[in-house]
Homo-oligomer: A and B are copies of this chain.
Amino acid sequence: MNAQAMWEAMSFLSEYGLLLDQDKLEEWTLLFEPQAEYKVCSRENEEMGLPAALMWCDNRDMLSDRIQSYRNVNEHNFHWARHVIGLPQVLQDSAHQLHFQASYSLFQTNLEGMSRLFSVGRYDFVCSRTPAGLRLLQATVIADTGLVKTLLAAPI
């Protein structure tokens, strides 16, 4: 656990949040390894060890499908997203992987320009170290906020 790992985690998180906020979802999926798992679950379920998730993609193609469907099929309220992600804590740091967590706040702004708090929670990210930088192997989003499923159209 050192300054270098902290810097890598911070760079990664800032890119992760800003890609989502700028609606570059396709580019965002490239932060994932092909075999990556992406899971959004409620804090309640996570603490009770219950397996149900609000969104669960167990590889990157599935995540891309989800984005395709979001773009072309799903009906959802139009909004802009804004992530403000807190300082990360490095949990494990090896030659090949980096495991860290960070609190996030996510705001949504609607067509009328009204912003509201949409979700707060914690990212638990296991990344592989690649020549191109960190890539997600296991991304778990543990949401404190109880998200109505129909509102969870875009990834967090």
Contact = CB atoms under 8 A, between A and B. Distances in A.
A7 B5 CA distance: 10
A144 B107 contact: yes
Copies of this chain, whole number: 3
A150 interface: no
Interface of A: 1, 3-4, 6-7, 10-11, 13-15, 17-18, 21, 42-44, 80, 82-90, 101-105, 107, 109, 112-117, 119-122, 144-147
A113 B89 CA distance: 25
A44 B114 CA distance: 13
Contacts of A13: 87
Contact of A10 (B6, B17, B104): B6
